[in-house]
Amino acid sequence: GAVVSQHPSWVICKSGTSVKIECRSLDFQATTMFWYRQFPKQSLMLMATSNEGSKATYEQGVEKDKFLINHASLTLSTLTVTSAHPEDSSFYICSARDITAYGELFFGEGSRLTVL
């Protein structure tokens, strides 16, 4: 099946710094990608929909200036957590749908962010 790769898997940073997470669709093109945040033992919370060549669509309550999303190509979307604080520590997962395969959704490996 199709593969979505996410990097880095783990990142530890100091409070106040910015962290960039990359999400790549390796063998299909994705005009949209999705970014989720997941707290321990909880469901996937959709943060935003990344749209290739245009602005991301953010879910209610998600600060767009805090979580910058860029979808510069059909295979790459990035999430930048700006001025990170300990409360931003979480598991972030991206996903993309392969519309050539019935629109099956594939997830990246996830990125565990710890802000000290």
Partner 1 sequence: GENVEQHPSTLSVQEGDSAVIKCTYSDSASNYFPWYKQELGKRPQLIIDIRSNVGEKKDQRIAVTLNKTAKHFSLHITETQPEDSAVYFCAAGEANTGNQFYFGTGTSLTVIP
Q: Which residues bind partner 1 (CB under 8 A)?
A: 1, 30-32, 34, 41-44, 46, 49, 91, 93, 97, 99, 102-110, 112
Q: How far is the CB of 70 from partner 1 (least distance, A)?
A: 17
Distance CA 82, CA 77 (A): 16
Q: How far is the CB of 110 from partner 1 (least distance, A)?
A: 5
- Return the sign of the alpha-carbon dihedral for residues 7, 76, 55, 18: positive
Q: How far is the CB of 11 from partner 1 (least distance, A)?
A: 14
φ/ψ of 86, rounded to 5, equals -50, -35
Closer to partner 1 at the Cβ: 14 or 41? 41
Residue 51 bridge partners (DSSP): 32
